[in-house]
Amino acid sequence: IRVWNNGPSSVTGATVTDSLPSGFTVTGISCAATGTATCGTQTSTASSVSITTGTLSLDTNTANAAPDGNFLTYTLTGTAPASGLLSNTASVAAPAGTTDPTAANNTSAAAVTRVVDAVNDATVNLAFGTGGTVTVLGNDTVGGAAATTANVAVTVQNAGGITGLTVNASGQLVVPAGTPAGSYTVTYQICDATLTTACDAATVTVNVGAASADLTITKTGPAFAKPGETITYTLTVTNAGPNPATGVTVSDTLPTGLTYVSSAPAATVSGQTLSWTLGTLAASASQTITVTATAPAEATLLSTPATRTLTNTASVSSATTDPTPANNTAAAVTQMVAAKLTKSVRNVTQNTTFGTSGGGLPGEVLEYCIAFENIGGAPLPNFVVTDHVPGTTNAQTGGYDAEEASAATGFGVKLTRSTANPTTSYFTSAADADDGALSSTGGSFGRGTMTVNLGALTVGDQGSVCFRTAIR
């Protein structure tokens, strides 16, 4: 604040008033005298100043618009508010008893100060390998107005460890795509576009996430298989991205009863576990693996019921973070299709026990029984048991009349069925509405055929069908 006297008389004790802008906090005031002018008193509080001049002799050239010889300079210092626009006006008044002939120049023009305010920004999260832009001007101001590239210049003061960090034309920080995963604290600075030395700095934390790759695995195989049959499984591993998957491995544990034969590519085999090291799988890339194995034999199905349904599970893993681990496992279920038939015979007349062979004298009665059992893992629909009457015998179309409880006759077929609580039923020999029949002609030996329709043979279902003949 400069004060001078254009005359015509010297003056002592003029009052200087400064209207402090809102938010400005005074920290000090000082006076410097030039020429024959002398300082008076000046005091201040945090929110006000009080100034009384000493002697103000006439300035050297009173016609000048600015002092050039005898004048006072007051320096007012203080702290600006966090943001906003400061307008500061000062005025001078002659002491009592003195008349100022030109009062119009007793008030200064406003000194306007724009406060440059950079504010720390919220953390920004970027995906690995994609890079991105970070907007920092959103909460910054210049003179109370929003900061834009029109009124400030943005520069990076400290990149926080990000190599190649730049600022684009929109005033955004540009993080390169190759930035490693990590957390970076970046310091940026904004400077007034007009008064380029008026600057403020702020920080923003940039988190670059770890690389991720969504690996999926699918596995296909036959829904059904017969004992000893060759089974081929197809495993497909796919990387849905967004980044390459490193250190990819696949594991496939063959279920009990399944015998490994080969695979492409070749697997590392440890017992029933197969494994492959696929290395790096690019985003959107796939790898196919085929596995050939042999289904369990009939003897295995009988001794180990768990082998009747084969559940083959494979999994994939990677050193790269997988955002969706739920799809890293797949299974193929194969149900074994197998039925066991065992035929036995006994001599009813001689009351012998059942065996795999038998005989007797002409006229004696033989009973043939065929035991059946579903030893697989799938129901067997439309299961029909057929046997041919031996050529040296005659079919007994009423062979079970004595056992069947009704008064009817002609019962030539006996069925015993179920495991827990076996039930016995009898069918007439005639080809009628019931599920069994026994003829006395036709068949492989011309002496007749036994046929029983069991319908659906459920898993584990078992029993026997029997018929009787007389030795010729």
Which residues lie below 8 Å from residue 12, measured CB to CB, with a gap of 6+?
Answer: 40, 53, 54, 55, 56, 95
What amino acid occupies position 215?
L
Q: Rounded to 5 degrees, what are φ and ψ at 337?
A: -110, 110
CATH of 340-471, one of 3.40.91, 3.40.50, 2.60.40, 1.10.1060: 2.60.40
CATH of 117-208, one of 3.40.50.300, 2.40.40.20, 2.60.40.10, 3.30.2010.30: 2.60.40.10
Give the mean pLDDT of the chain.
Answer: 95
Burial class (CB in 10 A: 0-12, 13-18, 19+), 12: middle
Residues β-bridged to residue 133: 174
What amino acid occupies position 235?
L
**Residue 378 corresponds to which tokens in the numbers above?**
């799938």
What's the pLDDT at 60? Answer: 86
**117-208 and 213-337 in the same fold:** yes
Find tokens 């090291």 and name the residue. 277
**Residue 218 corresponds to which tokens in the numbers above?**
């699918």
Residue ranges with strand state E in 243-328: 245-253, 259-264, 268-270, 273-281, 286-294, 309-317
pLDDT 10s digits, 339-373:
999 999 999 999 999 999 999 999 999 999 999 99
Domain ranges for the chain: 2-109, 117-208, 213-337, 340-471
Q: Rounded to 5 degrees, what are φ and ψ at 305?
A: -55, -25
What's the pLDDT at 61? Answer: 85
- Nearest CA among 370, 386, 383 for reference residue 457: 383
- 213-337 under CATH 2.60.40.1530, yes or no: yes
Over residues 186-196, the mean pLDDT reads 96
Burial track 319-350 (b if 16+ CB lie within 10 A, e otherwise): ebbbeeeeebebebebbbbbbeeeebbbbbee
**Total-model pTM:** 0.67
Contact 336, 308 (CB under 8 A): yes
CA dihedral 354, 359, 360, 366 (to 10 degrees): 50
pLDDT 10s digits, 271-321:
999 999 999 999 999 999 999 999 999 999 999 999 999 999 999 999 999
What's the pLDDT at 419? Answer: 66
